[in-house]
Homo-oligomer: A and B are copies of this chain.
Amino acid sequence: MSSPRRITLKDLAQHLGVSTASVSNAFNRPDQLSPKLREHILSEARRLGYRGPDAKARSLRTGRSQIVAVVLAESLTYSLNDAVASELLSGIAEVLDAHGHTLLLLSGRQDVSQMPGSSSIADGFIIYGLMPSLLLLDELPLPGQRPLVAVDFDLEGQPTVHVDDEPACHAIADHALATPPRRPAVINLRLTRHPCNARIAPDQELLPADRTITRSRLAGFHRAFAEHGIDPATVPMWNIEENTFDVCAPVIAEILDLPHEQRPDLLLCMSDRIALTVVTLAEQRGLRIPEDLRITGFDGIAEGQYRSPRLTTVRQDSVEKGRVAARMILGLEPMESRRLTTELLVGETCP
């Protein structure tokens, strides 16, 4: 019946009696041929069902694919359900879209070296979050020449996008400590590359923290503690392994179920998700917020601002983080590490 093979640019050129160069130019460089011929080629292409130059061949020849890969440290399932990651992706997609690029999603794997080979098709890479196995850039099975930007973690000499973590955390802790707590505590997120979902000794684990972003945030808290006459080493700290309700809940339950005289009355949380889980579990236990327990978050996700009581938190613009990263990859902005500013949102959980 019909041709067994897909029609190619060459077939079309032969059929029209013109060179392949002209057909190519008809699609890519209108200035290189007469409008008349161009129109003729284009209409004949349509008639024969030629859908335009093949992306695979084109990208091989030109070296560019118009595809940007986003490597997410966590699993895709997690990332798609996380408000902050979703916002980041929105921001990235917005910019890529506006410039005719598309987004290749690579889910986090325990071992970076097992990344699918097809990922090397991308023109650039945005890496989000700490890759457990990523110690050195050389381990990345990516073509070394492509632009790469890391979001929310530091990677060798690569450009990074994050927020002013230290000042932001100093500010919110400073605000929280204005009403002096008797027993402050910190609930931490992903401190090191090693899994840990429990209480940790405050000072001891701090130095080897390879999650530099979390280290900066803790530094902000600690500076505020010191300024308010609290020895940071005396502030208890818990670590949460994954930023989800299910993983948070047991650790938080453990904290809230401490004997009354040991239970913290101020909880500085590393994320809104954690803080919201604290709110939920505290309410279940009949604790009054903020009278019995004051809570702060980090991120400024929508849910925290809709729900009652409204969360006291630091708003970071994750959509903008995505935009910036994408613009760097596309070369619309210099590839230099950037820190976006944040905003202190004083809600009802810690007035």
Number of copies: 2
Residues on the B chain within 8 Å of A117, using CB:
52-53, 55, 58, 66
Q: How far is the CA of A145 from the CA of B55 in the complex (A)?
A: 15
A6–B145 CB distance below 8 A: yes
B76–A101 CB distance below 8 A: no
B66–A94 CB distance below 8 A: no
A89–B118 CB distance below 8 A: no
Q: How far is the CA of A233 from the CA of B102 in the complex (A)?
A: 45
Residues on the B chain within 8 Å of A118, using CB:
55, 59, 65-67, 101-102
Residues on the B chain within 8 Å of A100, using CB:
116
Interface residues of A, Cβ cutoff 8 Å to B: 6, 49, 51-60, 63, 65-67, 76-77, 80-81, 86-87, 89-90, 93-94, 97, 100-107, 116-121, 141-145
Residues on the B chain within 8 Å of A56, using CB:
56, 59-60, 63, 65, 120-121
Residues on the B chain within 8 Å of A57, using CB:
60
Q: How far is the CA of A329 from the CA of B116 in the complex (A)?
A: 18
B93–A76 CB distance below 8 A: yes
Residues on the B chain within 8 Å of A145, using CB:
6
Residues on the B chain within 8 Å of A77, using CB:
90, 93-94
Q: Which residue of chain B has the shortest Cβ distance to A86 in the bound complex?
A: B80
Residues on the B chain within 8 Å of A104, using CB:
67, 102-105
A102–B102 CB distance below 8 A: no
Residues on the B chain within 8 Å of A66, using CB:
116-118
Q: Which residue of chain B has the shortest Cβ distance to A118 in the bound complex?
A: B66
Q: How far is the CA of A66 from the CA of B142 in the complex (A)?
A: 16
Residues on the B chain within 8 Å of A142, using CB:
51
A80–B76 CB distance below 8 A: no
Q: How far is the CA of A121 from the CA of B54 in the complex (A)?
A: 7
**How close is A235's CB to chain B, nearest CB, in angstroms?**
31
Residues on the B chain within 8 Å of A102, using CB:
104-106, 116, 118-119
A89–B76 CB distance below 8 A: yes
B97–A107 CB distance below 8 A: yes
Instruction: Please list the 7 inter-chain residue pairs (A to B) with the smallest Cβ-Cβ separation, ordered nearest first.
Output: A55-B121, A76-B93, A66-B118, A80-B86, A77-B90, A55-B120, A56-B60
Q: How far is the CA of A168 from the CA of B300 in the complex (A)?
A: 38
Q: How far is the CA of A107 from the CA of B101 in the complex (A)?
A: 11
**How close is A172's CB to chain B, nearest CB, in angstroms?**
25
Q: Which residue of chain B has the shortest Cβ distance to A105 in the bound complex?
A: B103
**How close is A257's CB to chain B, nearest CB, in angstroms?**
21
Q: How far is the CA of A119 from the CA of B63 in the complex (A)?
A: 16
Q: How far is the CA of A121 from the CA of B107 in the complex (A)?
A: 19
A86–B81 CB distance below 8 A: yes
**How close is A156's CB to chain B, nearest CB, in angstroms?**
16
**How close is A293's CB to chain B, nearest CB, in angstroms?**
21
Q: How far is the CA of A107 from the CA of B107 in the complex (A)?
A: 18
Chosen A-B contacts, 15 in total, with CB atoms closer than 8 Å, are A6-B143, A54-B60, A54-B143, A55-B118, A56-B59, A76-B93, A76-B94, A76-B103, A80-B86, A80-B90, A102-B118, A102-B119, A104-B105, A105-B105, A121-B121
